[in-house]
Structure 1
Amino acid sequence: MTRKLILASHGKFASGILSSLQLICGADQDITALDCYTDEAFDLTKEVQQILQVNAGAELIVVTDVFGGSVNNEFLHYIHQPNFYLVAGLNLPFLISLTTRMIGSNSTETIIQEALEEAKESIQFCNETIKQELAEEEF
């Protein structure tokens, strides 16, 4: 079964981060960006229904920008559908980790969990990290 990845955000964050991801990892036809509320006529419910219809039969991983935000909440309606996975907290380290795992044979749940754990380690308060490393070098 094909895995598809949808990046969804308020404004143009989804397409912007997709551009960065493609620069680092190369273009991938199985990744799509959904920029929400960029014009007055935008209908989130309609867009989400269309995405689900177009991707029927695929494992669909949706990554939204903010947990509890309107974009995430709209996709939450589909959380119990088979082969549908929803992650909140769109960020580049997570996407790099996730996309490099997508072609593997591990279960989708496994690749999402592995990518989340790896991405958590990439979030650093650099001042403290460097201070700790320098302190360790002194000993």
Structure 2
Amino acid sequence: MERMLVLASHGKLASGIHSSLGLICGNPIKIETLDCYLTEGFDLEKEVNGLLERYREYELVVVTDLFGGSVNNEFLAHMDRSNFYLVAGMNLPFLVELAMQLKNAESLPQLIEASLETSKQTIQFCNQLISGEIEEEEF
């Protein structure tokens, strides 16, 4: 079964991060983006249902911007779908890790878990990090 990554967000975060991902990784996998609420009358339920219908034959990893937000909640309604994995908290380090291995990973749940752990380590408060290094050098 072919795999695909779906990025969905409030506003243009999904397409913006997709652009950045392409610059960093190229295009190792098929990616669909859903930028939500850009027009008046945007129908989230209709868009999500249409997207899931178009890709019903795919193993889907959906990454949304905000846990508990409307975009994430709309996808949560489809958790009973087979071959469907939902992650909230979209960020570039996670997506780089995931995208580079998605095509050939044996287990998507294991890949998602490992990518989440790796990406957590990339979030740093640089002021504190650099300050700590300077203090260590003074001793």
- TM-score, structure 2 as length reference: 0.94
Gaps of 5+ in 1: none
How do residues 1-139 of structure 1 correspond to structure 2 at under 5 angstroms? 1-28=1-28, 30-139=30-139
Structure with higher RCO (Cα < 8 A, 6+ apart): 2
- In structure 1, C-alpha distance between the alignment counterparts of 2:59 and 2:51, rounded to whole Å: 12
Q: CA deviation at 1:27?
A: 2.7
Listed one character per residue, the Cα deviations across residues 109-135 of structure 1 (whole Å, up to 9, x for unaligned) are 011001100110000000111122233
- In structure 2, C-alpha distance between the alignment counterparts of 1:22 and 1:50, rounded to whole Å: 25
Aligned-residue sequence identity (percent) comes to 56
- Corresponding pairs, count: 139
Question: CA 1:105–1:27 in 2, change beyond 3 Å: closer, same or farther?
Answer: closer
- In structure 2, C-alpha distance between the alignment counterparts of 1:47 and 1:5, rounded to whole Å: 16
**Following superposition, which runs of at least 4 residues in structure 1 exceed 6 angstroms of deviation?**
none
* Equivalent residue letter for 1:46: K
Listed one character per residue, the Cα deviations across residues 28-52 of structure 1 (whole Å, up to 9, x for unaligned) are 5611110000001311111111111
Q: Indicate the larger mover: 96-105 or 43-52.
A: 96-105
- TM-score, structure 1 as length reference: 0.94
